[in-house]
Amino acid sequence: MKSGSLFCALPCNRLPVQLMSQVRVYTSNGQKKDLGSEDKNVSTPEDSVRKVGTGRDTGNADQKQTFLKEPIQVKVKAVLKKREYGPKYTQNNFITGVRAINEFCLKSSDLDQLRKIKRRSPHDDTETFTVYLRSDVEAKSLEVWGSPEALARERKRRKEAEIKYRENLFRNQRLLKEYREFFGNTKPRSSAAAMFFKGPGKVVMVAICINGLNFFFKLLAWVYTGSASMFSEAIHSLADTCNQALLALGISQSARTPDPSHPYGFTNMRYIASLISGVGIFMMGAGLSWYHGIMGLLHPHPIESLLWAYCILAGSLVSEGATLLVAINEIRRSARAKGLSFYQYVVQSRDPSTNVVLLEDAAAVLSVAVAATCMGLTSLTGNPYYDSVGSLGVGTLLGTVSAFLIYTNTEALLGRSIQPEQLQRLTELLESDPVVRAIHDVKATDMGMSKVRFKAEVDFDGRVVTRSYLEKQDIEQLLQEIQQVKTLEELEAFMLKHGENIIDTLGAEVDRLEKDLKQRNPDVRHVDLEIL
């Protein structure tokens, strides 16, 4: 039964008749019928209603009893009105002093007369800070500027002035850069220079000096003897010198501080320089050695006295061996500090610059041995083919080293995962924390040079976070605030206040977990925890 107005049981004779005039009865087949036109043979429910509406068969007393037997019950549910998230909704939100000055073009003195509200910081080691009501700030801005149009014009003017300032700043920086390039940069670079007196920088500088001298003397020996193996050795030393100079450039560039364009820094410049170095060894060293060896096999020619060549190879063996020992000692020290074996440190390319020096010097020592052996066979037999075979052997050795460097540095640049046991320790630390219910999609990427980026989706336990917040509150005072809540507006204000504080507590818990992860593994530099 559907009624257009509300039924009321009142002591009036005409009221039921007037109300029932708008009643419609629906049959089982979905058709509606007026009570006045109903068939008199209709079954009991409709007939009883029709009789009540007409008043022909019952009196006023019966009508009252009929309405009192089944009174209509209306339940009203108190709910907050849904609001749109516009300026009207956020006018009573809090705003910091910096945003108030920037967004509403005010001065710090304009905020002194406004109501100040102290808010607790989400960080335990940080003091409370002062915020203002947005409605108060908006009213003050209208008082200062007179109208919204004047405020909008001032905002536009300040925005144009800021754009002009940035353009002038960029122009001045460009002029300063051109000035430094023309007259020279007189600013001391002690930090960059200090990198080449210790660690990988020292190894690279020693290798540059020794390989440069070896290239000069080997080139003289090749000119004097015409040996293909000696030519390969000269090319090998030249390739090593050029590649290690490139490594020095990569070390210098990796020390640059991060900027907005490169927020994670320039650490990977070492891997890029090592990758280019590996390609350079293949192109210059291996390619020219193979070419010269093949040409010696196709067009053999007699070789002059090899005495001076043997002396230069002996000196090269000593110098390359010394550089190799420096690289080995540096890698052992670094591997011991990281808790890795010598082999793991080299294969994982933890320090690409030292890795390149180690492999190049190891290849240089082996290639000197190969070249000396082939040249000795040529001296004993007088057959120049042995010397050409030695050149091919040196080229093959350089190609192998180049392929290894390209592979290891490419893996590092792609972003490989850290060791499973390290990832397991970090995962267990998160899972064992009481505030964490579960974690998903855990990723730990090695960014190179002992820098790890950790990412995980964390499902926080809301009850534990709320208890952590309540432990810092006065429960009796909180109970009094609850008892004073009488209206929906007071309830909304109470929930907004404590809801914001609980979110601050959640942020503090996230910061605590990030700090614990960095303490557990010092290599973790960047932590991204996504809240589920």
Q: 209-221 pLDDT, tens per residue?
A: 888 888 888 888 7
Domains 94-183 and 193-414 are alike in CATH topology: no
What is the SS3 assignment for 108? helix
Tokens 């303490």 sit on residue: 519
**Within 10 A of 425 (CB to CB), how many other CB atoms are there?**
13
Characterise 408 by phi-psi region: left (phi > 0), alpha (psi -120 to 50), beta (else).
alpha
Which homologous superfamily does the CATH classification assign to the domain defined by 420-531?
A: Cation efflux protein, cytoplasmic domain (3.30.70.1350)
In this structure, which CATH number among 3.90.530, 1.10.10, 3.30.420, 3.30.1370 belongs to the domain 94-183? 3.90.530
What is the SS3 assignment for 375? helix
Can you give the pTM of this predicted structure?
Answer: 0.53
d(CA 504, CA 413): 37
Q: Is the pLDDT of residue 374 over 70?
A: yes
pLDDT for 294: 86
pLDDT for 125: 59
Segment holding 135, helix H or strand E: helix 134-145
15 within 8 A of 64, measured Cβ to Cβ: no
pLDDT for 279: 80
Question: Taking the mean position of all CA atoms in its chain, how far away is CA 354?
Answer: 28
Q: Is the pLDDT of residue 186 over 80?
A: no
Structure tokens at 225: 């003897």
DSSP 56: S
CA triple 370-375-381, angle to 5 deg: 125
Q: Is the pLDDT of residue 322 over 60?
A: yes
Q: Are strands 94-96 and 129-133 parallel, antiparallel or unpaired?
A: antiparallel
Who contacts 442 (Cβ-Cβ below 8 Å, separation ≥6)? 423, 426, 427, 455, 456
pLDDT for 92: 61
d(CA 171, CA 159): 19
What number of H helices and E strands is found in the chain?
19, 8
Structure tokens at 518: 């960095």
**Sheet containing 524-531: order of strands:** 436-446, 452-460, 524-531
Who contacts 371 (Cβ-Cβ below 8 Å, separation ≥6)? 229, 230, 232, 233, 313, 390, 391, 394
Cα→Cα distances 354→172, 195, 518, 525, Å = 40, 13, 27, 23
Q: Is the pLDDT of residue 68 over 60?
A: no
Q: Assign 25 a pLDDT band (cuts: 50, 70, 90).
A: very low
Mean pLDDT of the chain: 75
DSSP 110: G
d(CA 31, CA 25): 8
Who contacts 406 (Cβ-Cβ below 8 Å, separation ≥6)? 275, 278, 279, 282
109-137 per-position pLDDT tens digit: 888 888 888 766 655 556 677 888 888 88
First-to-last C-alpha distance (Å) of the chain: 48
d(CA 402, CA 286): 9
530 pairs with which residues across the strands? 457
Amino acid of residue 150: A
pLDDT over 70, % of the chain: 75
Q: Assign 382 a pLDDT band (cuts: 50, 70, 90).
A: confident
Mean pLDDT of 412-438: 85
Q: Is the pLDDT of residue 160 over 70?
A: yes
Amino acid of residue 271: Y
pLDDT over 90, % of the chain: 1
Domain coordinates in residue numbering, the chain:
94-183, 193-414, 420-531
Q: Is the pLDDT of residue 226 over 70?
A: yes
Who contacts 32 (Cβ-Cβ below 8 Å, separation ≥6)? 24, 25, 26
d(CA 198, CA 329): 12
Structure tokens at 7: 């039924």
Cα→Cα distances 286→44, 215, 277, 373, 491, Å = 107, 16, 13, 19, 79
Q: Assign 181 a pLDDT band (cuts: 50, 70, 90).
A: low
In this structure, which CATH number among 1.10.10.10, 1.20.1510.10, 1.10.3720.10, 3.10.450.630 belongs to the domain 193-414? 1.20.1510.10
DSSP 284: I
The alpha carbon torsion through 516, 520, 521, 525 (nearest 10 deg) reads 10
